[in-house]
Structure 1
Amino acid sequence: MAKQQLEFKNSKFEIETYWLDPLGDYENEPKKPLAIICPGGAYKFIAGREAQPIALKFASEGIHAIVFDYPLISDERPVYPLVLQELATLLNWVKDQADMHNIDLDKVLLVGFSAGSHIVANFNTLMTNEKTRAKIFDEEIMVQPTANIIGYPVIDLTLGWPEEDWAMKISPDIFYWQAQEHLTQDSKPTFIWQTVTDQTVPVMNSFVYSQKMELLKIPYELHLFASGGHGSSLATYVTQEPGNEDNVNFANANWWELCINWLKVRNILPKN
């Protein structure tokens, strides 16, 4: 893992890179997919359980990973639209790294958890459409994600999380509140998972996003698990808070294998 500082105009932000080294056994090294991870944390902090453990899990599948240390709520400015501008800057930076790290630019994934999913969902709606992108980011985005993976996602800030005053700090412009409302035919396929007993982010968030994708005929896969709380990450002992039994759930942990299968169906990973 290495840290790298990037900049959008006068705003500096940090990423953590998990590059896979060349094997050195072949004359032509194969190109590898890349996952850009947006952990959760209620826009208050970057959740560690959804950062390095997820990056290493992708690495074990032959996928480069980057953890995006996105802007949080502060007294100086709201999160939006800066978070989308920084993510676009990151994607353009990725293009410059492609040859050095054998990145397959046709297989770039955005991965989000909880509040991080709100970033991914908004990027998938606003930044894949040229009309809305041009209003937010005045450069061309050289690398567009191929697909998205979102876990226990925040999609709509009016569906029970957060409180309205907190939503106003995330963005006083309600244009950024309801990601599902801006989905278009340009939006990318998405894998979604959540538990129906999530007491923090209502499961309706997953419903409204997948329903809109269904109406637009955008490919998606939705998995809802019968039990478990919010923020379980891998749902195994690897990401368990000591003493918190709710972080471990053998059924929910299957989301990872289901997700890998979906990536194979999408031809992002080989089927054999």
Structure 2
Amino acid sequence: MTRQRLNFRDSEFEIDTYWLDPIGDLENEPNKPLAIICPGGAYKFITKREAQPIALKFASEGMHAIVFDYPLVGDEKSVYPLVLQELATLLNWIKGQSVEHKVDLDRVLLVGFSAGSHIVANFNSLMTDAEMCKKIFDDEIEVQPAANIIGYPVIDLTLGWPKEDWAVKISSDILYWQAQEHLNINSKPTFIWQTVTDKTVPVMNSLIYAQKMELLKIPYELHLFASGGHGSSLATYVTKEGNDENVNFANAAWWELCMNWLKVRGILPKD
């Protein structure tokens, strides 16, 4: 893993890169997919449970990974629209790394968990709309995500999370509150998973996002598991972190289901 600093105008942000080294004995090393990971943390912090363990899991599937250290509430600037501008900057930066690290620019994924899913969902809505994107980001986005993966996602800030005035602190502009409202025909296919018994982020977030994608005929796959709490990450002992509720053999199936979906989408090979 390598920590790197990038800039959007006068704003500096950091990323952790997990580049896969060439195997070395292949005459023609193939380009590999890349997953950009936005962990959760309620916009208060960035949880490590959804950072390196997820990045290494993607690496085990033959994919490069990057963990995006995005702006939080309490930083010097508002979270939105800066977080979308930084993510767009990161995507353009990847183009310059594609030759050295053999990145397949047609197989880039955005991956979000909880609050990180809110970033991914907003990008999939606002930044795929040409007119809206121009208002947020001056430059052309040269690398477009092929698909998204969101787990126990925050989609709509008015559905029960956050409470009190936290939504206003995330953004005073309601444009960024309800990601489902800005989905459009150019939005990307999305894999969605959550537990029905999530007591932190209501499951309705996943349902309304899938419903809007269905109405727009955007490909998606939705998995709702019968039990389990919020923030289980891989739902295995790897991300247990002292909390038994983070281990759930049934919910852990989301990873295999997701990898199968990526194969169906042509992002991972089927053999």
- TM (norm. structure 1) is 0.99
Tell whether 2:263 aligns with 1:264.
yes
Q: Deviations over 1:90-144 (max 9, x none)?
A: 0000000000000000000000000000000000000111111000000000000
Look up the match of 1:157.
157
Sequence identity percentage: 80
In structure 2, the partner of 1:108 is 108
SS in 2 for 1:20: coil
CA distance in 1, matches of 2:75, 2:146: 34
Q: How many residues align?
A: 271
Give unmatched runs, 5+ long, in structure 1: none
Instruction: Indicate the residue corresponding to 1:253 in structure 2.
Output: 252
Higher deviation after alignment, 155-164 or 215-224: 155-164
**TM-score normalised per structure 2:** 0.99
| Paired amino acid for 1:21 | D
Measured in 2, the distance between the counterparts of 1:64 and 1:164 equals 39
Deviations 1:125-180 (A, max 9, x none): 00111111000000000000000000000000000000141000000000000000
Partner of 1:60: 60
1:9 and 1:270, CA in 2 relative to 1: closer, same or farther beyond 3 A? same
SS at match of 2:72: coil
Partner SS state of residue 109, structure 1? strand
CA shift, 1:75, in A, is 5.8
In structure 1, the residue matched to 2:118 is 118
Per the TM alignment, residue 11 of structure 1 is displaced from its structure 2 partner at its CA by: 0.3
CA offset digits 1:39-91 (Å, max 9, x no partner): 00000000100000000000000000000000001163320000000000000
Which residue in 2 is equivalent to 1:78? 78
| SS at 2:99 equivalent | helix
Alignment of 1:1-272 (within 5 A): 1-74=1-74, 76-242=76-242, 244-272=243-271
Secondary structure of 1:68 counterpart: strand
Separation in 2, partners of 1:33, 1:251? 27
SS in 1 for 2:125: helix
Q: Secondary structure at the match of 2:116?
A: helix
Q: Secondary structure at the match of 2:23?
A: coil
Give the deviation of 1:27 after TM superposition. Answer: 1.5
Task: Supply the AA of the counterpart residue of 2:204.
Answer: M
- C-alpha separation between the residues in 2 aligned to 1:245 and 1:46? 21
Work out the CA distance in 2 between the residues paired with 1:129 and 1:114: 23
